[in-house]
Amino acid sequence: MTTFLTVKEAAKLTGKSASSVRRVIYPIVRDDGHVDRVHVSPSVDDAQALRMKGENFAWRISEELLKREIPVVSQAERTGAAAHATGGGGQSELLAILREELQIKNQQIAQQTEMLGKQMELINGLSERLREGNILIGSLQQRLALTDGAVSVVSG
């Protein structure tokens, strides 16, 4: 009897993510005539019946297909690989790269700050010119002192 595992169980067994396991399953379930369709549960008919009922179901993958598609990694190998990836030389190299990136970002922030300062000076200058223009228009309006539009005749 073939043993079927849930996606979560398969991910835990292989040391891969659940999405990696789903990447194996989905191409198979999309093609009802796929050679490996017998290694995915529920069957085509069962899945269709569950969909018709509106029920949710979880895909399950056979251990045989899982071992063929994604090699099972032991816990010791997983922890050893993780330690190797974050170990000694790689870590200092990663820190150097991160420091370099941080320095670049700090330079970009300094440039942006400088540009913002210049833009604020420009805005302040334009605001001052606008204020001066408003004062000039106000004084001109007072000099013109618009009348009610009646023509007055001055006799002498």
pLDDT digits (tens, 9 = 90+) for 79-110: 555 555 555 567 888 999 999 999 999 999 99
Q: What are the extents of the domains in the chain?
A: 4-83, 89-143
Residues 41 and 99: beta-carbon distance below 8 Å: no
pLDDT digits (tens, 9 = 90+) for 27-63: 998 888 889 899 999 988 998 899 899 888 899 999 8
- What average pLDDT does the chain have? 85
* pLDDT of 70: 85
| 155: pLDDT strictly greater than 80 | no
pTM score, whole prediction: 0.46
What is the DSSP pairing of strand 40-41 with strand 60-62? antiparallel
